[in-house]
Amino acid sequence: MTTCHALLISAPASGQGKTFITAALARAWRNQGLRVQAFKCGPDFLDPMILEVATGRPVYNLDFTMCGESDAEAQLYRAAQDTDLIIVEGVMGLYDGTPSSADIAIRFNLPVLLTIDAGGMAQTFGALANGLLSHKPDLIPAGVLANKTGSAGHGKLLHDSLPPHLNWFGALQKNAALSLPERHLGLFRAGEISDLEQKIEDAAKALTQDLPRPPTVTFSAPATQLPPKLLAGKVIAIARDDAFCFIYQANLDCLQDMGASLRFFSPLDDHTLPEADAYWLPGGYPELHLNKISSNLAMKNALQAAFDANKPILAECGGMMALSTCLNDEPCFDLLSGVSKIEDRLQGLGSLKVTLLNDELGAHTFHYGSFTTELPPIATAKTRFGKVENIYQHGSIIASFLHFYFASNPNLAAQLFTAR
């Protein structure tokens, strides 16, 4: 067992400012000299990018469906051994989802800090906070923070409305300069927000006064062991740039734990591929970079050569669309016979388990894309909302809108990068 200061940040609903508040608190404690490790509940890619800027450390996900409960236990235990404070950003509202942020907090005894958008609210603030934090008796309250207050006086009124047993973590006043831009998949990538560092630092300074440290939590050693060296001696080349950026740090860790050496390349800017045993094109925003994709004929030829050499290629979501014949009527790399398009409505959402190659792997889907093809799927998976996601194989390529979580089944993940 090991101990560490820890808390989970949640809210009454989405859109309350959890990500920015989590980033500001993480930076405030980091500025006090603490080593801070951030986590994100759920399979999100974008919020962790913001939190990585705040902490200076890679961010990991906690999702019982996609990652598994044992993986969450292992990740938290490992973090507690190497940091002074663990901060976990919840997902949606405190009790939304299955499992909810509250379920995760209760499972690991994480005290909950509730942040509430207090715009248009007075003494009801205290009643709302008290009701949410007492709804489940097993939940451990860390305290409350008010977001988007109107003034210092408004913040004091909110503070005074809290019952004595709830700690006050301060207030952040409403300020348009501290807002984060969004698009169809959520927040902008951290690298696209030019003044993100200053926004986080300014918010951290606003919260520093009388900021208490969260309680200490004990984390148990996991029963899981490091995976076998199934990829020893293998080199895996991974697309990573503005268009291909949805990469779990845990997936990189898992590949390396299995013995693989990692190389990175840019399908947008590079004209050659690194020499490798297998290639991985993760998701991202290829639809925002179609001019570069369609004009990079050297990269198209390099990918074709890798395919002709029967090198395993894994293409996830945006990676699959980039390998299709065209995306939004613009020519792409054309390794997969099919047409991709960004639709007006959400096409897939949810964490799930998929049966593939006679085994099961955790994954999630969240996309507006469609892929029309005559390729027959080699496997299908259903989200809890009933949406069907197909997995295709064409030669050495395995492609899907799914984002896979390798640590949920390292043996199967290794097969994705093994010659077919």
Query: Do residues 141 and 110 lie in contact, with contact meaning Cβ atoms separated by under 8 Å?
Result: no
d(Cα 144, Cα 329) in Å, to the nearest integer? 49
Among residues 287, 246, 295, 243, which one has the least CA distance to residue 266? 243
Among residues 390, 418, 314, 349, which one has the least CA distance to residue 66? 349
DSSP 164-190: TTSPEEEEEE--GGG---EETTEEPPG
DSSP 320-383: HHHHEEEETTEE----EEEEEEE-SS--EEEEEEEEETTEEEEEEEEESEEEE-SPPEEEEEE-
Beta strands in 208-268, from DSSP E residues, in sequence order: 216-219, 235-239, 244-246, 261-265
Residue 215 three-state SS: coil
The reply to whether 317 belongs to the active site is yes
What's the per-residue H, E or C state across 78-142? HHHHHCCEEEEECCCCCCCCCCCHHHHHHHCCCCEEEEEECCCCCCHHHHHHHHHHHCCCCCCEE
The 8-class DSSP code of residue 384 comes to: T
**Number of residues that this document lists for the chain:** 420
Q: Which of 254, 317, 326, 332 is catalytic?
A: 317
- Phi/psi region, residue 15 (left: phi>0; alpha: psi -120 to 50; beta: rest), is left
Q: φ, ψ for residue 198 (rounded to 5)?
A: -70, -40
Q: φ, ψ for residue 143 (rounded to 5)?
A: 150, -165
d(Cα 47, Cα 125) in Å, to the nearest integer? 26
> What is the strand order of the sheet 397-400 is part of?
261-265, 235-239, 278-281, 313-316, 397-400, 388-394, 377-382
Among residues 279, 241, 247, which one has the least CA distance to residue 260? 279
d(Cα 221, Cα 73) in Å, to the nearest integer? 8
Active site residues: 317
